[in-house]
Amino acid sequence: FPVVPEKKEDTQFAKKYLEKFYGFKEEKNSLFKAKNLNHMADKIREMQSFFGLEVTGELNHKTLDMMKQPRCGIPDIRS
Amino acid sequence: YSTFPHSPKWKKEDVTYRILNYTPDMLQADVEEAIAKAFQLWSNVTPLRFTRLYSGQADIMISFAAGFHGDFYSFDGPGGTLAHAYPPGSDIGGDAHFDEDENWTKFTTYSGYNLFLVAAHELGHSLGLGHSNVLGALMYPIYMAKDTRDYQLHPDDIYGIQALYGSPRESPVLPTKAFPPQEPTEMTPAEVPTEMSPRQEPTETTPSKPPSRPEDCDPHLTFDAITTLRGETLFFKGSYVWRKSPYFVEIEHDTISSFWPSLIAGFDAAYEVDKTDRVLFFKDDQYWAVSGYSIESGFPKPIQNLGFPNSVRKIDAAVHDQNTRKTSFFVGNKYWSFNENTQSMERGYPRKIAADFQGIGHTVDAAFQKNGYFYFFHGSNQYEVDIKKKKVIRIMKSNSWFDC
């Protein structure tokens, strides 16, 4: 369904979700900001592909909604 | 399906488990029954046998805990992560932990999480299965409330666990056909949401297929219900959804379960209250409310909650007028008007449809509001209605929105 404007806390929530279930690791050094964004977009694509969502790499409403569903705590990728 | 790296599994067929503590949300006997039933799901399709221990170290130790509970994966309070479990191995290997901050229940209502369903999933991990991306599989990572009476494992779950342990020794509890891992074959789109291609049961045993989706431009196409949703329009028929959006050109073909996995197919009516970002679905004498993909808790509710007499057992169609904040409900040759502000039926209803809507001399199958007009559907025809004059101004085919 249509996208609602992305909120900062949504990005934080998504980062934690991707760390927990898709092995996302954020470079702490801010020099790698662009690299982080690409890496995060890759992980979003991986999660969208797993759940059969449209693979956009963007944190859209459908993707956020799926992240907020109650679920099992085990990662979705083999790690 | 998937397994953990290096596919760890129990190197024996007799596996033990122990329930270390209980959730205060349920009777102890109900907890024990839920867990025993969950183990039985897996023993039914493998040579594994599960024995409960009451003391000492068991292979699979089951416990309830909240927040930090001694491993590296603290729980996160209500919602979010419900539970987790470890792959087969020594010590913590095989153990299953359930988040005590959740509300555990033996029912499948919306007010809590069904312990049997979650335990069956977690024990799949305790036996060596990872997550599945097949919607409807038990090992799918997201919780879905389902009827647990006579619950059956999805073929994908069975493929996975039998890849690790093989099938049962004694005469298979299952139908005699084997489950040879088959190359995923194309399933008709109606059976799976797009972009997934799960394995399919061997064709000779595929259950009778649901009727396939009618063509968009079938001149005899009719609909069960239609509603707007955040600027888009959703057309429902059986388990199918046609989605028309201003944000993309073509009509998207979905299934109800791809948006709301726990809702039943075959809606009678649907309407959106845009101001509250809510869509209500009606089936027989019940209704549900959703916001986007989320089903509001406490549903389904009886339609009598809206003010219908007990004699009304189902609704044909519903449409909300965003300007007047009134919703019209169509039942047979009559209609009611519901005031969304006061949440009550208006006086003087029901009234005859034909008396108020000039040109509508029959029942209404579906209805929605768009561009300041009402659109009523009857069979394969659609009537554009001037809302103020309550008068039909145009008649089209029901699927005229699909650019046929």
ipTM for the complex? Answer: 0.88
Q: Does B234 touch chain A (CB under 8 A)?
A: no
Residue whose entry in the numeric block shows the structure tokens 């209502």: B109
Q: Which of chain B's residues have a Cβ under 8 Å away from the Cβ of A74?
A: 84-85, 125, 130-131, 141
- The answer to whether the CB of B144 falls within 8 A of the CB of B154 is no
pLDDT in tens, chain B (404 residues): 999 999 999 999 999 999 999 999 999 999 999 999 999 999 999 999 999 999 999 999 999 999 999 998 999 999 999 999 999 999 999 999 999 999 999 987 667 899 999 999 999 999 999 999 998 899 999 999 888 888 889 999 999 999 999 999 865 443 333 333 333 333 232 333 232 233 333 333 333 445 678 999 999 999 999 999 988 999 999 989 999 987 777 898 988 887 887 888 889 999 999 888 899 999 999 999 998 888 888 888 999 999 999 999 999 999 999 989 999 999 999 999 999 988 999 999 999 999 999 889 899 999 999 988 999 999 999 999 999 888 899 999 999 999 88
CA distance B401 to B404: 8
Residues B365 and B273: their CA atoms lie apart, in Å, by 19
Q: Which helix (H) or strand (E) holds B81?
A: strand B81-85
Cα separation, B154 vs B164, in Å, equals: 16
Question: Which of B240, B265, B264 lies closest to B189 in space, CA to CA?
Answer: B240
Residues from chain B contacting residue A55 (CB–CB below 8 Å): 195
| Residue B170, pLDDT score | 64
Cross-chain CB nearest to B81 (options A2, A55, A71): A71
Token output for B171: 């005469």
What pLDDT score does A4 carry? 52
Q: Output the CA angle B120-B121-B127, nearest 5 degrees.
A: 85
- Touching check for B75 and chain A: CB below 8 Å? yes
Q: Is the Cβ pair B141, A1 closer than 8 Å?
A: no
Structure tokens given for B169: 């020794």
Its sign, for the CA torsion B138, B139, B140, B144, is positive
The predicted structure's pLDDT at residue B196: 29
Closest CA in chain B for residue A53: B195
Q: Which of B4, B85, B142 lies closest to A78 in CB terms?
A: B4
DSSP assigned state of B358: B
Closest among B150, B196, B156 to B173, alpha carbons compared: B150
Q: Which of B140, B183, B137 is nearest to A50 (CA)?
A: B140
Q: Which residues of B are catalytic?
A: 122
SS3 B256: helix
Strands (E), chain A: 71-72
Q: Does B44 touch chain A (CB under 8 A)?
A: no
Residues of B in contact with A50 (CB under 8 A): 131, 133
pLDDT at B259: 83
Helix (H) or strand (E) holding B355: helix B353-356
3-class secondary structure, B244 = strand
- Whether the Cβ atoms of residue B277 and residue B320 lie closer than 8 Å to each other: no
Bridge-based pairing of strands B49-52 and B60-65 is unpaired
What the block records as the tokens of B246 is 């201003």
Provide the 3-class DSSP secondary structure of residue B368.
Answer: strand
Tell whether B83 lies on the interface with A, counting CB pairs under 8 A: yes
Amino acid symbol at B150:
D
Chain A residues with CB-CB distance to B230 below 8 A: 1-2
Write down the pLDDT at residue B295: 84
CB contact under 8 A, B232 and A2: yes
Among chain B residues, the shortest Cα distance to A17 is held by: B80
* Beta-carbon separation of A71 and B292 below 8 A: no
- B142, A78: Cβ pair inside 8 Å? no
* Interchain CB distance below 8 Å, B141 and A74: yes
What pLDDT shows up at residue B187? Answer: 29
d(CA B51, CA B29): 17
Cβ atoms of B272 and B278 within 8 Å: the answer is: yes
Q: Give the nearest chain A residue to B292 (CA atoms).
A: A1
Burial class (CB within 10 angstroms; exposed 0-12, middle 13-18, buried 19+) of A61: middle
Residue pair B254/B241 in contact (Cβ under 8 Å)? The answer is: yes
Rg of chain B on CA atoms, in Å? 25
Q: Are the Cβ atoms of B232 and A1 closer than 8 angstroms?
A: yes
Residue B122 at interface with chain A, using a CB cutoff of 8 Å: yes
For residues B153 and B139, the answer to whether their CB atoms sit within 8 Å is no
Q: Distance between CA B160 and CA B81 in Å, rounded?
A: 23
A12: helix, strand or coil: helix
What is the Cα–Cα distance from B104 to B274, expressed in whole angstroms? 34
